[in-house]
Structure 1
């Protein structure tokens, strides 16, 4: 089985007010390079990285371990960690002191200044860059479904956005973000990257922000469409789906199946719809790109991947996990529900825009979920996905 690993971008927050705190330097000061924690664009966020893993349980343990390490570091400075993809409360982000980031801030202005967004990146091993391009071409039409499942950013700078993943909207301000066309070969992929760099718009290849790309640092395909997930078990589940997409793409290539030639403009429509509606409306079906109930599209993705998932022993975990998410909602649903509960308790009504206090309660809910323990003995007993599989 292919190895896979993830990177999570997490917010550093005040546990009382819920506002982001620019403490990344303090959290990372004196930490070892091997801790799996690192800086990101803004000082209000910190990134965790897992090592390459072989399966769902191992990856889930690594994700929870990374979150726990980040939260332990934050607690030392009176802060906490929240796995939410945008800050519910208004904030003025501080750019991490770094010459590259300073140049980005100067060149891209408000886009870089406001880019306090937390994504979830899944790396899956490939045999070669050539195989990686095959994967990119075959998975491009299914990635919007992952955006809908992971959506965890309904608020932006103190406002209710109307989106489930507003991070997707904010992120897509960058010039290379979003879906890409079919490349056809590694040569074509490298030619496209070179042409983009030749425009002088980008600083370097690190700013090739395609929804999925060939990693520069690892022998992997990196899928970048997901919000950081509120729940660690949802994050591990999405990584399993990505790995199955990668493996299915390779098998299709070996069987002579050509990648879908759906226009990139339609992929942008699917991405927008997933960002807007999440799991509570229609998504665009990745077969004909017509609207279908979100649950139908999500289950269609599971069905599409089921041969590989079954072969890898992960089909039942995925089915149980998807059923859980569709029943309780994604992170955006949980955030809105937390705000509504607070408003109802305080005012006796769910109406009106969320107050700062209601948004602080959203962050508090996220902190509690994020801090779930990393112990293997604990997570096997508490993880609802594995529990449901055992009950079945």
Structure 2
């Protein structure tokens, strides 16, 4: 069974006001002083209002949920020492002027990309799924392309931007795709072509290094994994687990198709950009584009196609029933973006929405 690891980026917010709070250096120092795992699990991100943690590689999704709940709770514990709380929000609902971390890399990014860098107070969820080799990994990348935007729609958790309703369910993905190396990618075919493409992109001088290859999915530079990068950070841990479950199902299904000699779908990156935009705009309210025909369809039909596609792989890991129930629950009740808007519609101002979402972030047991 393939292992899965999850990286979650959380927003640090003032416990009293709900405004993003530039205290990640203090939070990381608190974690480091405690020693043990916490000093290694938590990492800084581009802006001081963010905090990232990574789970261990796991095979059991029940254990994955426990890890996510645990580290969200630990993040809250260290944040409280700086009068902050953590919120699993992919963008800030309230207006913010982010504070960039110091350091040569971040300084270079700010000079190179100007306003784009300043705007990137965005929090995502990255899923690492183990692969046996670069050859298998590239075969997987080629075959999961038409399905990835459905993970973005399912995770969509960023309806608000700078104090306004963006009209999108995942506005984070629109902001993220302002990076010149982000988004859908063309077919690679072989590891040589993949690595040549990465090298050529870096050699243009537009990117600092290969760490700035922000494809929707890529070969990890540090682990023997495919890293799927399309999801918003999810408001509730159960959604994160569902995204991880489906990501592993997609990787396993793609690897089996490759071994069986099935070619990848020859859909262009241009069409996938349109499908990605549609998913970010609609989220779980629909419509979406069908992952096979790329014609407009209902959300129910799109996710039926996804479940049919990964059914065998999920059955083999024992995750099929949970995935079906998880998708059905999200289609019936909505996801993070719907939850945020519902809180606003109940009469909460956006600062109170943030504080309510912070409570949801660490409420799971």
TM-score (norm 2): 0.97
The 1-side partners of 2:303 and 2:15 are apart by 35
Q: In the alignment, is residue 368 of structure 1 matched against residue 343 of structure 2?
A: no
The 1-side partners of 2:193 and 2:156 are apart by 32
Question: For 1:107, which of 109, 112, 129 is the aligned residue?
Answer: 112
Q: In the alignment, is residue 50 of structure 1 matched against residue 41 of structure 2?
A: no
SS of the residue aligned with 2:271?
Answer: helix
SS of the residue aligned with 2:146?
Answer: coil
Report the counterpart of residue 222 of structure 1 in structure 2: 227
SS of the residue aligned with 2:178?
Answer: coil
How big is the alpha-carbon RMSD for the aligned residues of Structure 1 and Structure 2? 1.0
The 1-side partners of 2:194 and 2:36 are apart by 32
- List per-residue Cα deviations over 1:276-306 (Å, max 9, x = no partner): 0001021000111000011210121011111
- List per-residue Cα deviations over 1:208-262 (Å, max 9, x = no partner): 0000000001110000000000010100110010001000001001111100000
Q: CA deviation at 1:365?
A: 1.8
Q: CA deviation at 1:34?
A: 3.2
8 Å contact from structure 1 (residues 342, 361) kept in 2: no
Q: Which runs of 5+ in 1 are unaligned?
A: 344-357, 374-378, 380-392
SS of the residue aligned with 1:40?
Answer: coil
Q: Which runs of 5+ in 2 are unaligned?
A: none
Q: CA deviation at 1:16?
A: 2.5
Going from structure 1 to structure 2, the CA distance change for 1:316 and 1:263 (only over 3 Å counts) comes to same
Q: In the alignment, is residue 24 of structure 1 matched against residue 29 of structure 2?
A: no
The 1-side partners of 2:71 and 2:248 are apart by 20
Report the counterpart of residue 241 of structure 2 in structure 1: 236
The 1-side partners of 2:68 and 2:188 are apart by 32
SS of the residue aligned with 2:284?
Answer: coil
Q: CA deviation at 1:130?
A: 1.2
- List per-residue Cα deviations over 1:65-95 (Å, max 9, x = no partner): 1111111111111110000100000011011
SS of the residue aligned with 2:207?
Answer: coil
Going from structure 1 to structure 2, the CA distance change for 1:240 and 1:209 (only over 3 Å counts) comes to same
The 1-side partners of 2:138 and 2:356 are apart by 40
Question: For 1:127, which of 132, 143, 149 is the aligned residue?
Answer: 132
The 1-side partners of 2:225 and 2:36 are apart by 21
Report the counterpart of residue 10 of structure 1 in structure 2: 10
Report the counterpart of residue 34 of structure 1 in structure 2: 37
Report the counterpart of residue 321 of structure 1 in structure 2: 326
SS of the residue aligned with 1:194?
Answer: helix
Report the counterpart of residue 278 of structure 1 in structure 2: 283
Question: For 1:163, which of 161, 168, 175 is the aligned residue?
Answer: 168
8 Å contact from structure 1 (residues 153, 164) kept in 2: yes
- List per-residue Cα deviations over 1:306-357 (Å, max 9, x = no partner): 11111111101101111111111010000000001025xxxxxxxxxxxxxx
Report the counterpart of residue 248 of structure 1 in structure 2: 253
Going from structure 1 to structure 2, the CA distance change for 1:41 and 1:33 (only over 3 Å counts) comes to farther
Moved more, 162-171 or 23-32: 23-32
Query: Displaced runs of 4+ in structure 1, greater than 4 A?
Result: none
The 1-side partners of 2:109 and 2:166 are apart by 26
Aligned pairs, number: 360
Question: For 1:302, which of 307, 314, 325 is the aligned residue?
Answer: 307
Q: CA deviation at 1:33?
A: 7.2
Q: In the alignment, is residue 72 of structure 1 matched against residue 77 of structure 2?
A: yes
TM-score (norm 1): 0.90
Q: In the alignment, is residue 149 of structure 1 matched against residue 154 of structure 2?
A: yes
Q: In the alignment, is residue 289 of structure 1 matched against residue 287 of structure 2?
A: no
